[in-house]
Structure 1
């Protein structure tokens, strides 16, 4: 089996990343478009972490750091390649990034209806935070 490479995403692969998320990620985000991903990469080139095998994207995680909070989004692994340690490798890379910049706690966005996702996060040592709920307000149409 080919080895996994963990690296940062590049702007030229945005279309491939969006296609990957469409088939491998649960749910969509208001920022799931070329402009949204380009803004992320331009603002923080280290945030979008990719797992690659044989030249193809097989996993992603967004490890967002704003100087205050360490936030995790878009942990996704190719459905045909799950349960091979790819998600764990991505989370390890994200956590290393957070520690290097002074992060003290990582928060993950996990869809309530995504039972396999919840099990993945729990297996990685994350716990559901019962005291808070996410409140949102779309700023664009």
Structure 2
């Protein structure tokens, strides 16, 4: 991994699909139902500024999805390469995500954080986020056509 310089943040584009999907296999905790070329294409096609990439010297060191639906600001897939953790990459990504939300008129960010990912809990708390125990995520897989 590159040195300790502040990462450069940019929005992902369609050409980044293979890079990001490979990165998530190394850096993300778990997988998502949308971790494929089609899911990636839908994300960057639907909300082109949502997937933020952190790079140092042209090397991908972190990602976060900062999606805004006009009502809520959602954070997903905050992932930092294992060799770049505890170097401020997550903080820079979250700052960029929060700036995006503020520019879009968002009022509060919420994050999807795995219960079992204790190290992530520390990072989110350090960034000012806290769990809301009165909420629980409900899901239903949708049929593919």
Q: Do both share a fold (TM > 0.5)?
A: yes
What is the aligned counterpart of 1:90 among 90, 93, 115?
Answer: 93
2:66 alignment counterpart: 63
**Which residue of structure 2 aligns with residue 79 of structure 1?**
82
Partner residue in 2 for 1:6? 9
Picking from 7, 17, 22, the partner of 2:20 is 17
1:114 alignment partner in structure 2: 117
CA distance in 2 between partners of 1:89 and 1:3 (Å) = 8
| 1:64-102 deviation line (CA, Å, top 9, x unaligned) | 000011000000001001111110000000000000111
Could you tell me the TM-score, scaled by structure 1's length?
0.97
User: What does residue 46 of structure 1 align with?
Assistant: 49
Q: CA RMSD in A?
A: 1.0
For 1:102 and 1:12, the matched residues in 2 are separated by 29
Distance 1:131 1:102 in 2: 25
Aligned residues: 141
After superposition, the C-alpha distances for 1:91-132 in whole angstroms (9 at most, x for unaligned) are 000000000111001000000000001111011000101111
Give the deviation of 1:140 after TM superposition: 2.7
Q: Are the equivalent residues in 1 in contact too, given 2:76–2:111 (CA < 8 A)? A: yes
Runs (4+) of structure 1 exceeding 3 A deviation are: none
Report SS of the residue matched to 1:64: strand
**Alpha-carbon distance, 1:4 to partner:** 1.6
Residue 128 of structure 2 is matched in structure 1 by: 125
Task: Give the corresponding residue for 2:139.
Answer: 136
